[in-house]
């Protein structure tokens, strides 16, 4: 397996260069660790076919993601949302809902409410905000479709697996976060 730990234009260039230099035909599996659907679209399905990526959101993941993405795309002149777009929307909505439930806009009180109440998010599914502030949610494993399997411009990915939140994120006790009390040594 060859993994690209790059983002944006660098990832697009690596995907294209891998195909150009024949690495794609070597039988190796390629994975892009920090990529978006925009990067896949920029690379093209013929070049990106078979590439493995992980994302917490994909526009075509479920009914809720499709409905929200249709509204987003309508407002953004046909652009499909990335996980970053969905993440900003989802996190702001969660914060505002927690502020409303807490009855205040005092940040520490709102954050405490976020940590106490699991979030049922239409775009990311169940989300838990841990003591260290990390939002724990599923991460999906996708494979880039072939050009023949794609039905439209943004029909890019096929889900091939899922990592549950606890599998996808470092355990709380291994993070070393100063927000989390560590056990007192004797």
Q: Are 38 and 94 contained in the same domain?
A: no
- The C-alpha atoms of residue 70 and residue 78 are separated, in whole angstroms, by 9
Residue 140, SS3? strand
For 22-37, what is each residue's pLDDT tens digit? 887 777 888 888 888 9
Q: Domains in the chain: how many in total?
A: 2
Is 158 found in the same domain as 106? no
Residue 103 domain flag: yes
To the nearest 10 degrees (0 to 180), the angle between helices 107-116 and 83-102 is 110
Query: CA-CA distance, 36 to 82, in Å (whole number)?
Result: 6
Q: Dump pLDDT digits (tens) for 39-83.
A: 899 888 998 899 999 999 999 999 999 999 999 999 988 889 999
pLDDT digits (tens, 9 = 90+) for 135-183: 999 999 999 999 999 999 899 999 999 999 999 999 998 888 887 775 5
H-type alpha helices, the chain:
8-20, 37-43, 45-48, 63-75, 83-102, 107-116, 165-168
d(C-alpha 58, C-alpha 66), whole Å: 9
Q: Which two tokens stand for residue 137?
A: 């949610």
- The confidence score (pLDDT) of residue 185 equals 47
Question: With the C-alpha atoms ordered 26, 32, 37, 38, is the resulting torsion angle positive or negative?
Answer: negative
Cα separations in angstroms, 40 against 107, 108, 138: 37, 39, 21
**Does one domain contain both 132 and 142?**
no
**114 and 103: one domain?**
yes
Range of the domain at 103: 62-136
- Alpha-carbon distance of 139 to 180, in angstroms, equals 24
What does pTM read for this prediction? 0.87
């Amino acid at each position: 397996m060859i993994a690209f730990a790059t983002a944006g234009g660098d990832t697009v260039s690596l995907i294209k260069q891998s195909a150009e230099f024949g690495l794609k035909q070597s039988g190796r599996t390629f994975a892009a660790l920090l990529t978006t659907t925009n990067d896949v679209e920029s690379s093209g399905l013929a070049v990106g076919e078979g590439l493995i990526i992980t994302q917490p959101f994909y526009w075509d993941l479920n009914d809720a993601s499709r409905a929200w993405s249709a509204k987003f795309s309508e407002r953004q002149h046909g652009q499909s949302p990335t996980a970053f777009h969905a993440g900003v929307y989802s996190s702001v909505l969660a914060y505002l809902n927690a502020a409303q439930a807490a009855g205040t806009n005092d940040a520490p009180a709102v954050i405490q409410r976020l940590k106490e109440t699991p979030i049922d998010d239409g775009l990311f599914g169940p989300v838990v905000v841990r003591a260290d502030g990390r939002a724990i949610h599923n991460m999906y494993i996708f494979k880039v479709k072939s050009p023949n399997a794609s039905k439209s411009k943004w029909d890019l990915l096929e889900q091939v697996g899922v990592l549950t939140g606890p599998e996808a994120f470092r355990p709380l006790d291994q993070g070393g976060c100063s927000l989390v009390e560590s056990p007192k040594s004797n």
